[in-house]
Structure 1
Amino acid sequence: MVLLDASIAGCVSTWLNNGGTLDPERSRILQGSINDLDRVLLGITEAQELRYFQRLRQLAMLVSAASLRAD
């Protein structure tokens, strides 16, 4: 979970620093992280942790969608 958090944070940071665009490699990493989150969210039972990672997924989805529109 820590690696997913760090991967998504890195992609979001890059997206912000690059004016709303991601290079193909970071787009791939972000999409893979979203897919990984989809799998692990099913096993999270602690409410606060679940909310955090649901919001992290939402952030990743928004950045991914915005980055695709910018291409």
Structure 2
Amino acid sequence: MLDADTAGCVLTWLNNGGTLDPERSRILQSRIEDLDRVIPEITDPAGIQYYQRLRRLALLDAAGLSDSE
């Protein structure tokens, strides 16, 4: 669910012109925190790369949210 929730928030952010409702903003921030905890535990190089990219994407969206507020 970690990648599905994050991707869903990113897709909603894109479809809404760079905005998220408060609930999705909370979910996105929570998933970033989850990714920070999970990534160090991953041992597969492809998995590490995938989740690091997902985290960067989530951070870019979160930064875009704070820029638009």
TM-score by length of 2: 0.96
Partner of 1:30: 28
Give RMSD over aligned pairs.
0.6
Distance 1:70 1:61 in 2: 14
3-state SS, counterpart of residue 20 of structure 2: coil
Aligned match of 2:9: 11
Question: Letter of the aligned partner of 1:6 in structure 2?
Answer: A
1:49 corresponds to which residue?
Answer: 47
State the match for 1:62 in structure 2: 60
Aligned length, in residue pairs: 69
Task: Tell me the TM-score normalised to structure 1 length.
Answer: 0.94
State the shift of 1:42 in Å. Answer: 1.0
SS in structure 1 of the partner of residue 42 of structure 2: coil
Which structure 1 segments of 5+ residues have no match?
Answer: none
Q: Distance in 2 between matches of 1:6 and 1:39?
A: 17
Identity %: 61
Q: Structure 2 unaligned runs (5+)?
A: none
